[in-house]
A and B are shown apart, each in its own frame.
Chain A
């Protein structure tokens, strides 16, 4: 009679312990100056991007042909571009485009990577062999090339480009998840969960997959930084966001011809891309240090 009563608290206890561990991780990350600065910057950026369209000083797509290529000043804080559009306004709106696109690519990567990774690790055998081989081949393509090929199939446009980048990055998520599932597949707690009669599917999702989360979160952080760079590169080449809309990358691409007379057009979006990517990478570094215990240096 006591058995069911005893098992019920024990599962909640596990949840509590893991919850406490995650809270601990957040606190440990926030204890590090690099962690707190990156998170503060990213939160600020997300807030600004959300309210961006409402706080722009000028209409970001409004041409003003009498005021083209104005240097930064009191009127236009970051100057105007070759069509007289306010750079700060465009930067604010473009941020939303860049961040959403980056998130879309990483979510696509997770969508295409996690399930096959789980199945490959859990089922094993020929399925595992085929999945990992395909992933290896995808990884041997330069990711930008793969993205370009997929853009060629689907046509230019930011949505297609990010779908492409997501697919190109899926193998990385796949490998992490597969590795972690393989690692815990024969552990006692999995055996115990299965023997208590919990459905296999639930064992995989609720008991095995959570072990992959720390490694996945670290990878997601690095991937966000990398994807932002790839997104801006594709948009720079003209294969991402299409005019008159802008992302940070396309703002640089569109003003390359004017760098000699109007360097501010290139400097501002480039700096924002750099700081954002730096924040994602630093956060990834801090997370990795804290998860693996002990810092690298």
Chain B
């Protein structure tokens, strides 16, 4: 297990380097550079722009700038925001907990929806639960998240007045309010993520329930709970874990829209703000951090998979 972990850990480095290159190239393509923005726009004197360009290291060749970018990023220095003059790393530190809270709760909801639904659906094909699972799997993909979120707000915040519609309360300030403020956003995200998970789990559990070992256990008189819960479900969970890992980028992408609807100060809304204000430095930082998150998530997924399925470790 240790060699597997180390070997898998080593593959993260080239992955992150390539991602950093893509982010760097993308953001280098942006019209107008940091120096012009810092000097006060296009009307600034060429001397002032040149001075800032030298100060920001923008007069160096591209390759050198890329190396600087990687070295700085690796030490946590992601530059300074053009629009607020705040270090990008500080902005991220402030906004990341919001998005992570949302993603975490979203995944919990997705599992809470998918696991029981898929299990009952697989046990009773063509039953009511099976039909509901199909509806969830389809609606989760076809309903626009922002619209679903607005409908939830319309029902639970504006009509029933049970839950707050906007803003965020940090966990450290008030855990209950943190949860209540994130409940509707997390349900929206969970609904979106549950679609693929339900479909996948339903198919894989159904497949396992038809296998010989399940028939043998049943004929040997093992209780249904033991057959399904201890054996079939455990085997079926392997691919589901992979599905969960693959959904991390989808979840973060979905956060952009959900944070906009619920007015949550996370990295998603920060990203939209950065696009509108063309804040390249923030954009770079947010994308780079997101890729780091995705890469780490795929690493953890592989580890979890190796724990569940020992065969993977020796490959």
Contact = CB atoms under 8 A, between A and B. Distances in A.
User: Chain A interface mostly helix, strand, loop or mixed?
Assistant: helix
Interface in A143-197: 143-145, 148-153, 156
Nearest to B195: A281
Interface in A7-61: none
A226 B250 CA distance: 12
B257 A237 contact: yes
Contacts of A270: 144, 147, 150-151
B256 A153 contact: no
B22 A142 contact: no
Given A140-B295, A142-B253, A273 B22 contact: no
Contacts, number: 138
Contacts of B89: none
A237 B254 CA distance: 12
B271 interface: yes
Interface string B151-162: 101100010000
A141 B291 contact: yes
A156 B249 CA distance: 23
B19 A239 contact: no
B146 A142 contact: no
B151 to A, nearest CB: 8
B290 A145 contact: yes
Interface stretch (A73-81, A202-210, A256-264, A286-294): A256-264
Contact of A239 (B134, B151, B252, B275): B275
B146 A236 contact: yes
Interface residues of A, number: 43
Contacts of A145: 252-253, 256, 271, 286-287, 290
B153 A259 contact: yes
Contact of A252 (B26, B147, B252, B256): B147
B138 A266 contact: no
Interface in B1-60: 15, 18-19, 22, 26-27, 29-31
Given A133-B18, A259-B150, A237 B291 contact: no
Contacts of B146: 232-233, 236, 249, 252-253
A158 to B, nearest CB: 15
A296 B261 CA distance: 36
A213 interface: no
Contact of B141 (A134, A152, A225): A225
Given A140-B295, A232-B144, A274-B143, A297 B125 contact: yes
A296 B15 CA distance: 35
Given A142-B249, A142-B252, A259-B150, A152 B144 contact: no
A74 B274 CA distance: 44
Nearest to B18: A137
A297 B26 CA distance: 44
Contacts of A149: 26-27, 275, 283, 287
Nearest to B286: A145
A229 interface: yes
A237 B256 contact: yes
A281 B154 contact: no
A274 to B, nearest CB: 5
Nearest 9 interchain pairs by C-beta: A142-B253, A270-B147, A144-B253, A277-B142, A278-B142, A142-B249, A152-B275, A142-B252, A233-B257
13 contacts: A137-B19, A141-B290, A148-B271, A152-B275, A156-B276, A233-B256, A236-B257, A237-B256, A259-B154, A260-B158, A266-B147, A274-B143, A281-B138
Interface of B: 15, 18-19, 22, 26-27, 29-31, 125-126, 130, 134, 138-139, 141-147, 150-151, 153-154, 158, 203, 206, 249-250, 252-254, 256-257, 260-261, 271-272, 274-276, 278, 280, 283, 286-287, 290-291, 294-295, 298
Given A141-B19, A239-B275, 9 more contacts: A140-B15, A140-B249, A144-B256, A149-B26, A236-B144, A263-B154, A274-B147, A277-B142, A297-B126
Interface of A: 133-134, 137-138, 140-145, 148-153, 156, 225-226, 229, 232-233, 236-239, 249, 252-253, 256, 259-260, 263, 266, 270, 273-274, 277-278, 281-282, 296-297
